[in-house]
Amino acid sequence: MKTGNFQLDQSYAPIYEALETFRKMRVVPFDVPGHKRGRGNPELTAFLGQQCVGVDVNSMKPLDNLCHPVSVIQKAEKLAADAFGAAHAFLMVGGTTSSVQSMVLTACKRGEEIILPRNVHKSVINALVLCGAIPVYVNPEVDQRLGISLGMQREQVAKAIAEHPNAVAVLVNNPTYYGICSDLRAIVKMAHDAGMRCLVDEAHGTHFYFGNGLPVSAMAAGADMAAVSMHKSGGSLTQSSLLLVGPNIHAGYVRQIINLTQTTSGSYLLMSSLDISRRNLALRGRDVFHQVADMAEYARQEINAVGGYYAFGRELMNGNSVFDFDTTKLSVHTLDIGLAGIEVYDILRDEYDIQIEFGDIGNILAYLSMGDRAQELERLVSALAEIRRRYQKDGSGLLSQEYIEPEVVTSPQEAFYAEKISLPLEQSEGRVCSEFVMCYPPGIPILAPGERITAEILEHIQYAKEKGCSMTGPEDPEIKQLNVLV
């Protein structure tokens, strides 16, 4: 049967069904993995369950091969492409990091320019380290009250294209972690009119393909490639992702690029979770995400009624840098109660047993999806009200800016591989950084290789450390030292 507007039978899950058939065959395993369907590792089997370890298997003819699919994986990819409106879809088992890097490596070669916002996930800049492409940054506008970076303004993208006519691609974050969307259709048209490809980091927008009243998806907007985090709002297992491509991208070349870095031992746990989750989204996604958006809107109203907090939404839309807003995102500004977002994040976890997605300098994000229930949102709202009553204080002296405009001195690849020395943090001002510094999540670099270290950046790093942000990137795990160019 066909479902929705799909061309294929979306109730079919070929990888899952092949694994179920395989399970019933009771094949004697003289292959890897070495736990031999769990018998060799009873503690692992007790922890994960026989149902799970019994299908943690190696590639074999009946189960196809992720590096060169010809049967059940190929069918699963065709179903995913149909469900997401893409010309082709690739099952990815290295997370959306792998999808983003494959997308950039497909579009860019050494020395070529790519136009992108600076508030990209580190996986984008990592891809530039690998391939040697040159970033042309479109610095995003910042919402001064919230301290968050917004989307790409049309005029800034047009200016970057006019000043860099030989650039090969434009990359867009859509949506941002906070739910901010750019004018994706307009940016796609500008890129294509200039002979450039448009790539979309759509890690936080899986549900755009299956929601009524949500922002436009990358494929519907005409983008050439999109990296989609199925494990975020799509319900699949952590580390599973999709790479979607449009009709003007050569899928065979993309497969070759993926195979440069992706494992040759693709996990059938991850692949089957993508297969089952795609089916679930195709059959039930529209109803589910309508409910999620309604829950998020209700929570926004309740949190704003508490006072002191600002749960922001579609009222931020301005037709350009906030062209649209993902209403499933529950982002809350906390500085007006005198607490940094990361402080509220820690209190929620340590004192209320509530784990939210992240807290940064000024905001928290509660990530809502198909598994959330109204009673849990009520618990979150009650906890936030109590935190305000117990912990509210004078907010003077708190930093607010999540985004600091960088000074780019050299390319990420040149800086990463250049001769370097390690300096104490306080002695690094004015030098050029050769590594990343970021709070994770969200994984947007405060510093990237090739950028000058300024007093403002050092203040931001020190402040984030003091407030308890989880800092990652540098070689020094305590981030007391930074690697800089000689």
pLDDT at 190 over 50: yes
> 301 and 267, same structural domain?
no
Domain interval for residue 197: 14-283
- On the question of pLDDT at 35 being above 70, the answer is yes
- Residues 294, 193 within the same domain: no
Average pLDDT, the chain: 94
Phi/psi of residue 320, each to 5°? -145, -90
Q: Cα separation of 328 and 181, whole Å?
A: 13
Tell me, yes or no, whether 236 and 382 share the same domain: no
Same domain, 65 and 213: yes
Q: What percentage of the chain's residues is helix, strand, coil (to nearest 5)?
A: 40, 15, 45
236 in a structural domain = yes
Where a domain ends, among 359, 391, 423?
Answer: 391
Is 49 in the same domain as 19? yes
In a shared domain, residues 309 and 277: no
Q: How far is residue 401's CA from residue 363's CA, in Å, rounded to a whole number?
A: 10
Inside any domain, residue 206? yes
pLDDT value of residue 246: 98
The DSSP 8-state label assigned to residue 319 in this structure reads S
How confident is the model at residue 1, as a pLDDT?
46
The single residue listed with the structure tokens 């994986």 is 73
E strands of 7-111, at which residues? Answer: 88-92
Q: Is residue 406 part of a domain?
A: no
Tell me how far apart the alpha carbons of residues 471 and 347 are, in angstroms, rounded to a whole number: 18
pLDDT, residue 445, reads 86
Q: Who's near 462: CB < 8 A, 6+ residues apart?
A: 425
pLDDT per position as a tens digit, 149-163? 899 999 999 999 999
Q: Alpha-carbon distance 255 to 236, whole Å? A: 22
Give the pLDDT confidence score for residue 141 in this predicted structure.
Answer: 86
Q: Which of 283, 307, 342 is the last residue of a domain?
A: 283
Place of tokens 């891809």: 127
pLDDT tier for residue 80 given thresholds of 50, 70 and 90: very high
CA separation for the pair 61, 351 (Å, rounded): 51
Mean pLDDT of 452-470: 88
Q: Give me the CATH number covering residue 472.
A: 3.90.105.10
DSSP H helix total and E strand total for the chain: 14, 20
The answer to whether 98 and 92 have CB atoms below 8 angstroms apart is yes
pLDDT tens, position by position, 379-391: 999 999 999 999 9
Judgement on whether residues 298 and 250 belong to the same structural domain of the protein: no
Flag whether 466 is in a domain: yes
Closest CA to 186 of 225, 153, 211, 141: 153
In order, the DSSP letters of 225-267 are EEEE-TTTTS---TT-EEEEE-TTS-HHHHHHHHHHHS-SS--
Q: In the predicted model, what is the mean pLDDT of residues 59-83?
A: 97
* pLDDT higher than threshold 50 for residue 238: yes
Nearest to 454 by CA among 383, 375, 396, 401: 401
Burial (CB < 10 A; 0-12, 13-18, 19+), residue 214, is buried
Q: Residue 247 pLDDT > 70, yes or no?
A: yes
End-to-end CA distance of the chain: 64
DSSP state of 346: H
- 309 and 278, same structural domain? no
Specify if 101 maps to a domain. yes
Residue 383: its H or E element: helix 374-391
What confidence tens digit (pLDDT) does each residue in 92-145 have?
A: 999 999 999 999 999 999 999 999 998 899 999 999 999 999 999 998 888 988
Which residue, of 283, 314, 330, is where some domain finishes? 283
Residue 219 has pLDDT above 70, yes or no: yes
- Count how many domains the chain has: 3
Q: Using the predicted structure, report yes or no on whether residue 232 has a pLDDT greater than 50.
A: yes
Tokens found for residue 38: 């769990």
Q: Does the pLDDT value for residue 330 go beyond 90?
A: yes
Give the domain CATH number at 185.
3.40.640.10
Residue 366 included in any domain:
yes
Token pair in block for residue 359: 């807290």
Q: Are the beta carbons of 424 and 443 closer than 8 angstroms?
A: no
Q: What's the pLDDT band for 147 if we cut at 50, 70, 90? A: confident
Assess contact for 379 and 300: CB atoms under 8 A: no
Closest CA relative to residue 270, chosen from 100, 98, 130, 84: 98
Same domain, yes or no, for 234 and 324?
A: no
Distance of CA 409 to the CA centre of its chain: 27
Residue 423: predicted pLDDT: 96
Residues 6+ apart with CB under 8 A from 405: 118, 139
Segment 368-384 shows an average pLDDT of 95
Q: What does the pLDDT read at residue 4?
A: 60
Over residues 204-216, the pLDDT tens digits come to 999 999 988 999 9
2 falls within a domain = no
User: Are 114 and 241 within one domain?
Assistant: yes
pTM of the model: 0.94
Cα-trace Rg, the chain? 23
Query: Residue 398 domain-assigned?
Result: no
* Torsional sign, CA 215, 220, 222, 227: positive
Tell whether 254 and 304 lie within a shared domain: no
User: What CATH number did the domain enclosing 313 receive?
Assistant: 3.90.1150.10
User: Which tokens go with 62?
Assistant: 């009946």
* Pair 165, 259 in one domain: yes
E strand segments, 281-418: 310-311, 324-325, 329-333, 358-359, 363-367
36 pLDDT band, cuts 50/70/90, is very high
